[in-house]
Chain A
Amino acid sequence: EAGVAQSPRYKIIEKRQSVAFWCNPISGHATLYWYQQILGQGPKLLIQFQNNGVVDDSQLPKDRFSAERLKGVDSTLKIQPAKLEDSAVYLCASSPRTSDSTQYFGPGTRLLVL
């Protein structure tokens, strides 16, 4: 079974530029999560989808971050404009359903904002 796929793996941009990350969850997994992991900290949830609907985006900085999962499969997370403090690893995870709390993570996208 293929795992969670993410791209790109690494990205370097300058502040105020925009960037987008892509995630393809495990086939058949209805729930998709985007986490932000700042160096030295545990991951923190940015947004959670159940199929193509948003379940929780309370920690998403909506003035600069947006995410979509239009067909209930893959998802895109965008930052526009980026700030220095957005430098982090962005992790995508999926689970079969929200009630199944075991989440399976992709390799992450490491973002450096200069």
Chain B
Amino acid sequence: AQSVAQPEDQVNVAEGNPLTVKCTYSVSGNPYLFWYVQYPNRGLQFLLKYITGDNLVKGSYGFEAEFNKSQTSFHLKKPSALVSDSALYFCAFPLGGATNKLIFGTGTLLAVQP
């Protein structure tokens, strides 16, 4: 079955340091891949997506993600973490076909310490 995996339940990083939130995929064909962020007691906010083309995708709030076909990964990165980046991050892909529903990973909690 097609899926995305987020191997880390939690990532801790100090403010000002670079951060990486990992995602690997098992999706057939040319995958579309998404990152969403969820702040406490809020809905999911769209960060960025990879459709095709440039493997480095830039998104909201200074985040970027690199699509790596050989490693089947789509890691989320930011050069300098902020305390306000602390949130739950989800990797996802659309199932395609008639539904195009999003299939989400289990989420990674990012904690940025001041």
* Chain A residues with a Cβ under 8 A of chain B: 4, 6, 33, 40-45, 48, 55-56, 91, 93, 98-99, 101-108, 110
Chain B neighbourhood of A48, CB < 8 A:
99, 101
Distance in angstroms between the alpha carbons of A44 and B101 in the assembled complex: 9
Contact B92 A102 (CB under 8 A): no
Distance in angstroms between the alpha carbons of A31 and B104 in the assembled complex: 18
Contact B43 A108 (CB under 8 A): yes
Chain A neighbourhood of B105, CB < 8 A:
42
Q: A41-B106, A42-B106, A42-B107 are in contact. Are A105 and B101 (CB under 8 A)?
A: no
Distance in angstroms between the alpha carbons of A70 and B45 in the assembled complex: 27
Task: Report the nearest B residue to A57, measured CB to CB.
Answer: B99
B22 within 8 A of A: no
Chain B neighbourhood of A93, CB < 8 A:
44
Task: Report the nearest B residue to A47, measured CB to CB.
Answer: B101
For residue A3, give the distance in angstroms from its CB to the closest CB of chain B. Answer: 9
Chain A neighbourhood of B42, CB < 8 A:
107-108
- List 6 additional contacts besides A45-B99, A99-B100; criterion CB under 8 Å: A42-B106, A43-B104, A91-B44, A93-B44, A102-B49, A105-B36
Q: Contact residue range for chain B?
A: 20 to 34
Contact B101 A56 (CB under 8 A): yes
Q: A48-B99, A106-B43 are in contact. Are A42 and B104 (CB under 8 A)?
A: yes
Distance in angstroms between the alpha carbons of A4 and B46 in the assembled complex: 13
Chain A neighbourhood of B94, CB < 8 A:
101
Distance in angstroms between the alpha carbons of A30 and B4 in the assembled complex: 27
Distance in angstroms between the alpha carbons of A106 and B42 in the assembled complex: 8
Which of the listed residues A42, A43, A55, A99 has the most CB atoms from chain B within 10 Å of its own CB? A42
Task: Report the nearest A residue to B99, measured CB to CB.
Answer: A56
Which of B90, B92, B99, B106 is in CB contact (< 8 Å) with A55? B99
Contact A104 B46 (CB under 8 A): yes
Task: Report the nearest B residue to A45, measured CB to CB.
Answer: B101
Q: Which residues of B (1-60) have their CB < 8 Å from a CB of A?
A: 32, 34, 36, 41-46, 49
Enumerate the 8 nearest inter-chain pairs by beta-carbon distance, A residue then B residue, closest first. Answer: A42-B104, A101-B94, A105-B43, A56-B99, A45-B101, A105-B44, A107-B43, A108-B43
